[in-house]
Structure 1
C-alpha cells in the first residue's frame, strides 16, 4: 500500500490504508531522510510498513515526530514544496 500525501488549505494530509493524519503546515519544523531502520525517537508515529521499503522520511512538528516508510521517490521534495508555499 502506497502512502499518499495531499495538501488541503493549510494542512498536510497523509493517507495510508484506512488512516488519515492531518498535520498543520505551520507546525512542520523539519523534513529529512533517515538512514536508520526504525528511527531514533521511540515515541515517533510510524506510518507504513518498515520492511520492504527503501526510504524513511521524518517529519518533525512542534509537538510530534512522524516516520514514513515508503519507496515513493520525491516525497520529501513534495512535502517541502507544500511547506514553503
Structure 2
C-alpha cells in the first residue's frame, strides 16, 4: 500500500493517496496539528489514508474544512506542510 504524498504546486498543497488527489490553497490553511485520537476528534473531517495500521494523525484545519491524514510519518508531514505555509 502506498503512503500519502505531500507536495506544493504553485500556491496549493497537493495531497496524493492511491488514486485520489486533493488540492488545498495554502492561503486557506489555518493550522496543522497532530492528533492522538484513533479516528480524529472532528466528526465531519475529510479522512485521507487508512486509520488502521497507521500510528500518526495529521490534522489540517482550513477556513472551510478539516482534513485528517492517517500516516506513519506524521511529524515529517506536519513539518513539510508548515514549511509550505512559511514560504
What band does the TM-score fall into relative to the shorter chain? over 0.9
* 1:75 alignment counterpart: 77
Q: CA RMSD in A?
A: 0.7
The reply on whether 1:19 has 2:20 as its aligned counterpart is yes
Summarize deviations over 1:33-81 as a string: whole Å, max 9, x none. 0010111111100000001111000000000000000002511100000
Paired with 2:20 and 2:68, the residues of 1 have a C-alpha distance of 14
Alignment: residue pair count: 85
In the alignment, structure 1 segments of 5+ residues that lack a partner are: none
* 2:41 alignment counterpart: 40
**Normalised by the size of structure 2, how large is the TM-score?**
0.95
Paired with 1:61 and 1:48, the residues of 2 have a C-alpha distance of 19
Summarize deviations over 1:14-46 as a string: whole Å, max 9, x none. 000000000000000000000101111111000
1:41-56 to 2 correspondence within 5 Å? 41-56=42-57
**Normalised by the size of structure 1, how large is the TM-score?**
0.97
Paired with 2:37 and 2:55, the residues of 1 have a C-alpha distance of 11
In the alignment, structure 2 segments of 5+ residues that lack a partner are: none
